[in-house]
Amino acid sequence: MEQWLAQGLHGEMSYLERNREKRYDPRELVAGAKAVVVCVLQYSKCRHDYHRTIKSMLYQLDALLHPCAANASPNPLPTQQHIFCDSAPFLERRWATEAGLGFIGRNHQFFHHSLGSKVHLGELVLTEEVAHIPSMAPIAMGCPADCHRCEEACPTGALRNSVWDATQCVAYTTHHCLVCQDVCPMNAKKAKV
């Protein structure tokens, strides 16, 4: 990421230059952070604001994990818990990968191992160990070495040699480009759940 920033490929996303220590280490973002729970939700399951949908799900999960705290407070979110969805300096795709949920593809999208890349991510950072949530063994997956369909199909050349240039990416100007996900054979194979 440092090299990508140094090359200026983040374009107008100057916020990525700030809070790097928090971005790289959740303990700098949430004091005493011990665990990160990652939530993955398909685009098709979020008909309205996906931030609200994912945060609502994570609030419910948090209440399940902390029933005593939720009952004792009018605010169902204990102060030491933190829920994020595009709302903090947090390397969401990295933590989804660390959680064993998938991998980051050549189109720089996170691919869930069964849902594909058309997913949103959200996170709940906990300040205590959560022994009863099983961690998943990382699944060794990645793009086939000979596939470059996303790079070939990208209308602006934002994807080249496995590098994503945000300054050329339509999704960061009009927010309406899914070409590099639509052409991906890994998405075509995914179950519609």
Q: List phi, psi (to 5°) of 3.
A: -65, -40
Residue 165 to residue 8: CA distance in whole angstroms: 9
Stretch that binds ligand SF4, among 4-12, 90-98, 124-132, 180-188 (CB under 6 A): 180-188
Q: Which three-class secondary structure string do you get for 25-45?
A: CHHHHCCCCCEEEEEEEEHHH
Binding of residue 116 to ligand SF4 (CB under 6 A): no
**Residue that has been written with the tokens 């947090």 in this structure:** 90
All residues at 6 or more sequence positions from 17 whose CB lies less than 8 Å from its CB, including other chains: 5, 10
Stretch that binds ligand SF4, among 45-53, 83-91, 119-127, 152-160 (CB under 6 A): 152-160
Binding-site member from 20, 45, 118, 148 for ligand SF4 (CB under 6 A) = 148
Residue 117 to residue 12: CA distance in whole angstroms: 24
Binding-site member from 106, 112, 120, 190 for ligand SF4 (CB under 6 A) = 106
By C-beta, is 66 or 106 nearer to ligand SF4? 106
Site for ligand SF4 in 128-147 (CB under 6 A): 143-144, 147
Structure tokens at 149: 């369909």
Binding of residue 159 to ligand SF4 (CB under 6 A): yes
Binding-site member from 170, 174, 175, 189 for ligand SF4 (CB under 6 A) = 170
Return the amino acid letter for 74: P
Binding site for ligand SF4 (CB under 6 A): 105-107, 143-144, 147-150, 154-156, 158-159, 169-171, 177, 179-180, 183-186
